[in-house]
A and B are shown apart, each in its own frame.
Chain A
């Protein structure tokens, strides 16, 4: 039996591709910058990022690339949740937003 689950999720899938391309480009640019400058980037400090981009150094490009990568599935779940809301599928919309809530809780407690 074919159902809505088999219908392609074009918006969500496009966003996934975009997220991967953006993060890939940032990571490549960051790596190229590291080679040119001969630097080893420091480990991520969230407070550094919260303080602003601080110039697009190779290290910052890498961090932004990694953050874009991590954000990609999160955006995907958000879009899927909105699609389920649009289709009035309350259970699956709630599941999507529940997942987002859990991811957010993990992020907050992890950063602390």
Chain B
């Protein structure tokens, strides 16, 4: 590999990491289309590269979130077994599907995901003392963390655990099948259904997606889909980009930007579909 190639791939990774961190999504949703459509990388290789990037960004962010207490480790461990099972199923299923089929599934999925992205999730905190449901109480899933922006301790109780398990399992399947983190499904689910505050939901989802990505990454790895040079360049780029994105994210507000990203996702999905059906050059 030449320095130019490495820098180009790292640049794509950095951009994906930057945008991903700014909008609170994993870089996978950008990396897979960029590699598959932009660079003509085989779909399975693009997916596992994305999974490795998800592991890198998740591990880096989860460390901070666990220390601050924002990540609800108990909730993550409660949801993760089914999510991992979903990821394994998705990883194996991908092995039986041709790249063009995966492109079509990814294209449709990314277009569908653009809606929750544009809509956003309610940034409301659950009031102190509000009750969770029986399952949450039985499994001791309440949490609390110090919100630095509000300069106060935020306490909450989680609700609707079975629904969260179901959605997390589906997110796991998508992760294994398409190489996305699945946070775009889990964060709204935890916030809207589980009544987990936005910051805790994002931190908990972030902790989970790295573990989920490992489950399917090893399956792709075992099949020989990993291109080490490509993966290394992309992972290092994503890592740098996501670190920058975290700082930029704090300064960015506005629904128009989120809306713009949603439109961008639709365009990428359309590109993938065009390529899958043979109407895209390259």
| Contacts from A to B (Cβ < 8 Å) | 1-10, 12-14, 16-17, 19-20, 23-24, 27-28, 30-31, 34-35, 38-46, 59, 62-63, 65-66, 69-70, 72-74, 76-77, 80, 91-92, 95-96, 98-99, 102-103, 105-107, 109-112
Contacts and interface: CB of A to CB of B under 8 A. Distances in A.
Interface residues of B, number: 66
A106 B218 contact: yes
Contact of A13 (B58, B62, B75, B224): B62
26 contacts: A1-B142, A5-B73, A5-B141, A8-B67, A16-B60, A20-B56, A24-B235, A27-B232, A28-B236, A31-B232, A43-B226, A43-B228, A44-B221, A46-B222, A62-B231, A69-B55, A73-B59, A73-B211, A74-B211, A76-B211, A91-B139, A92-B77, A95-B81, A96-B77, A102-B215, A112-B222
A109 B176 CA distance: 15
Contacts of B141: 5
Contacts of B55: 69-70, 72-73
Interface in B154-193: 155, 157
Contacts of A63: 228
Contacts of A6: 69, 72, 143-145
A38 B2 contact: yes
Contacts of B68: 8
A16 B142 contact: no
B24 interface: no
B248 interface: no
B232 A95 contact: no
Given A19-B59, A92-B74, A99-B80, A106 B226 contact: no
A28 B88 CA distance: 29
A9 B66 contact: yes
Contact of A107 (B3, B87, B222): B222
A45 B1 CA distance: 19
Task: Tell me the dominant secondary structure on chain A's binding face.
Answer: helix
Given A40-B229, A41-B228, A70-B221, 11 more contacts: A2-B142, A2-B153, A3-B74, A4-B140, A20-B60, A34-B229, A44-B226, A62-B229, A70-B214, A76-B210, A77-B211
Contacts of B224: 43-45
A7 B146 CA distance: 11
A49 to B, nearest CB: 10
Contacts of B144: 1-3, 5-6
B46 interface: no
A9 to B, nearest CB: 5
B218 A107 contact: yes
